[in-house]
């Protein structure tokens, strides 16, 4: 198992290019199942998650080709013919979004058998809303021995679906199935995260008919087939936000490029409140901070988009560990997303947790230690804390981090961070 070692204390100066969004790329990849024409995705991140999903798509008989192109890394998916509609446990357990192949397989072929998903253990994360949506679209669903078998021998039928609460995955899943259903589907209380807009726009370029993109009501008029297209993956707002926080923590001046400032508006508002200089640029954002000036503690509460992203909660908490005063961090999306707290405590952070709320009492200094990544974004929070902790911090289990951060050591190292990967051996999971 690899680990990452960071020698704290270096300020960061330079540019960090933001990669394509993992949470968009993996849903766009699932969209390739819907057509027998090639789908070319550009600005593709190379991550463990995109690799796993590529393996799963190959298992269905989809040709997957990766190459370098004018708009960054590219991946071509060609599902000319599907030779299997079975998604085994070993290929689905690694990540949450692999479950979202069920809807498109069902929509294209009328049946599929997919293992229940894995992903970060940040909560119970059931898939009831996914299954309710597919059932409303006319699928017959059976659950047996950890697998979902879905059948729609006469094809899917459009339906009115009102989600009881907002779910990113269930919205995307319903969308991926409804585009090929007969008739009109209306999704109410739909999630409107930018990655869903990206997916909906790509599907539209493939010939789908979708109204209300980027709103919480999506109206989809089913079509009988979709064509291929070329689509550039939206910038990764979680990666962008993570490096914005890293720059703020270490101090210095870092420009995040190939990105869009408005994607992290709820984060940068809080960063400004804490005393960090944030200036939007033509293709991203510039973060400046004099590390001699202590930040002010500010409170955050996670929420659905455009609120403060749960995927940036751990990173922001790391920033607050050395701010002046007490910051309250409320997690409202996942019931178990504070696993980084005991790890931050190893570095000297003073944090107490009561139900869904963490109180971070800022300390003057953190001290390097051995810590363990517990999930994807928590790994980044430990790296961020390590950037200022006195001495060396070693973050173990970075296979979590590799799911969602591309070339992390290279990107931070280019700005002056003293960071290196220590290669491990053996099975990663
Ligand atoms: C691969 C991907 O894109 N992952 C993102 C996606 O996860 P994911 O799609 O899993 O997140 P959801 O928005 O679905 O989950 C929100 C809440 O709804 C609950 N729920 C969800 C579905 C369901 O059928 N039943 C149910 O109870 C979940 O347990 C959670 O408490 O959105 C989250 C919220 O922005 C992000 O943190 C994840 O990074
Ligand atoms: C929680 C995440 O991923 P997943 O939903 O795949 O677990 C994430 O991207 O932060």
Determine the straight-line distance between the first and last CA of the chain, rounded to whole angstroms: 8
Q: How far is residue 153 CA from its own chain's centroid?
A: 33
* 23 pocket-lining for ligand 2 (C-beta < 6 Å): yes
429 residues of the chain, pLDDT tens digit each: 899 999 999 999 999 999 999 999 999 999 999 999 999 999 999 999 999 999 999 999 999 999 998 878 999 999 999 999 999 998 888 788 899 999 999 999 999 999 998 767 787 789 999 999 999 999 999 999 899 999 999 999 999 999 999 999 999 999 999 999 999 999 999 999 999 999 999 999 999 999 999 999 999 999 999 999 999 999 999 999 999 999 999 999 999 999 999 999 999 999 999 999 999 999 999 999 999 999 999 999 999 999 999 999 999 999 999 999 999 999 999 998 999 999 999 999 999 999 899 999 999 999 999 999 999 999 999 999 999 999 999 999 999 999 999 999 999 999 999 999 999 865 545
Same fold, 3-19+235-422 and 22-232: yes
Asked if 365 and 375 touch (Cβ cutoff 8 Å), the reply is: no
Asked if 122 and 379 touch (Cβ cutoff 8 Å), the reply is: no
CATH fold of the domain at 3-19+235-422: UDP-n-acetylglucosamine1-carboxyvinyl-transferase; Chain (3.65.10)
Q: Is 175 annotated as a binding residue?
A: no
Q: Nearest-CA neighbor of 388 among 245, 193, 237, 175?
A: 245
- Predicted pLDDT at 426: 55
Structure tokens at 221: 């008029």
Q: Given this structure, which CATH class describes domain 22-232?
A: alpha beta
**Dihedral, CA of residue 232, residue 237, residue 238 and residue 239, to nearest 10:** 70
Q: Is 108 annotated as a binding residue?
A: no
ipTM for the complex?
A: 0.98
Side-chain-side CA neighbours of residue 428 (13 Å): 12
Q: How far is residue 316 CA from its own chain's centroid?
A: 16
Structure tokens at 271: 């960063």
Q: Which atom of ligand 1 is nearest to the CA of 23?
A: 3
Distance (Å) of CA 258 to CA 17, 227, 235, 381, 423: 6, 28, 7, 23, 30
Candidate of 30, 52, 125, 335 to mutate for ligand 1, largest count of ligand atoms within 8 Å of Cβ? 125
Candidate of 24, 47, 130, 168 to mutate for ligand 1, largest count of ligand atoms within 8 Å of Cβ? 168
- Predicted pLDDT at 94: 79
Q: Is 333 annotated as a binding residue?
A: yes
Residue with tokens 């070693």: 394
* 150 pocket-lining for ligand 2 (C-beta < 6 Å): no
CA dist 345 and 224 (Å) reads: 55
Instruction: Output phi, psi for 140, to 5 deg.
Output: -95, 125
Please list, in sequence order, all residues whose beta carbon lies within 8 angstroms of the beta carbon of residue 297, skipping any fewer than 6 positions away.
274, 320, 323, 324, 325, 326, 327, 360, 362
**Å from CA of 426 to ligand 2 middle:** 24
Q: What is the DSSP string of 173-209?
A: HHHHHHTTSBSEEEEES----HHHHHHHHHHHHTT-E
3-state secondary structure of 246: helix
- Predicted pLDDT at 116: 92
Alpha helix locations (H) across 335-375?
340-346
Whether 120 sits among the annotated catalytic residues: the reply is yes
Instruction: Output phi, psi for 222, to 5 deg.
Output: -60, 145
Q: Is 427 annotated as a binding residue?
A: no
Provide the residue ranges of all domains of the chain, joining segments of one domain with +. Answer: 3-19+235-422, 22-232
Distance (Å) of CA 399 to CA 158, 266, 286, 312: 40, 28, 29, 18
Query: Rounded to 5 degrees, what angle do the CA atoms 18, 22, 27 make?
Result: 140
**Å from CA of 292 to ligand 2 middle:** 34
């Amino acid at each position: 198992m690899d680990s990452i070692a960071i020698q704290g204390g270096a300020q960061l100066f330079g540019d960090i290019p933001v990669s394509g969004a993992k949470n968009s790329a993996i849903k766009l990849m699932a969209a390739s199942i819907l057509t027998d024409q090639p789908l070319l995705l550009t600005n593709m991140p190379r991550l463990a998650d995109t690799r796993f999903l590529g393996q799963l798509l190959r298992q269905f008989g989809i040709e997957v080709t990766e190459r370098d192109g004018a708009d960054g890394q590219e991946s071509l998916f060609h599902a000319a013919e599907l030779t299997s509609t079975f998604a085994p446990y070993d290929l689905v357990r690694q990540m949450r979004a692999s479950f979202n192949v069920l809807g498109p397989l069902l929509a294209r072929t009328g049946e599929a058998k997919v293992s229940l998903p894995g992903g970060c253990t940040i909560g119970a994360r059931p898939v009831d809303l996914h299954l309710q949506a597919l059932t409303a679209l006319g699928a017959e669903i059976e659950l047996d021995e950890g697998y979902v078998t879905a059948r729609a021998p006469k094809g899917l039928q459009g339906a009115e679906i009102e989600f009881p609460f907002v779910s990113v995955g269930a919205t995307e899943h319903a969308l991926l199935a409804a585009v090929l259903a007969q008739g009109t589907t209306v999704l109410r209380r739909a999630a409107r995260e930018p990655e869903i807009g990206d997916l909906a726009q790509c599907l539209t370029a493939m010939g789908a008919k979708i109204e209300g993109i980027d709103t919480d009501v999506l109206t989809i008029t089913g079509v009988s087939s979709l064509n291929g297209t070329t689509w550039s993956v939206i910038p990764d707002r979680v990666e962008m936000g993570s490096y914005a926080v890293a720059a703020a923590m270490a101090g210095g001046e870092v420009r995040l490029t190939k990105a869009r400032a408005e994607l992290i508006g709820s984060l940068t508002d809080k960063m400004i409140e804490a005393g960090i200089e944030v200036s939007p640029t033509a293709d991203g954002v510039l973060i400046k901070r004099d590390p001699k000036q202590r930040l002010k503690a500010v409170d955050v509460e996670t929420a659905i988009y455009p609120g403060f992203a749960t995927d940036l909660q751990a990173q922001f908490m790391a920033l607050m560990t050395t701010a002046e005063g007490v910051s309250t961090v409320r997690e409202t999306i996942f019931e178990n997303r504070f696993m980084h707290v005991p790890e931050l405590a190893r570095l000297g952070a003073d944090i107490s947790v009561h139900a869904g709320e963490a109180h971070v009492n800022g300390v003057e200094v953190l001290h390097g230690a051995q810590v363990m990544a517990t999930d994807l974004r928590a790994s980044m929070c430990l790296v961020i804390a390590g950037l200022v902790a006195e001495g060396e911090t070693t973050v173990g289990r970075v296979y979590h981090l590799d799911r969602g951060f591309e070339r992390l050591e290279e990107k931070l190292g280019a700005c002056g961070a003293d960071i290196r990967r220590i290669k491990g051996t053996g099975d990663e999971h």
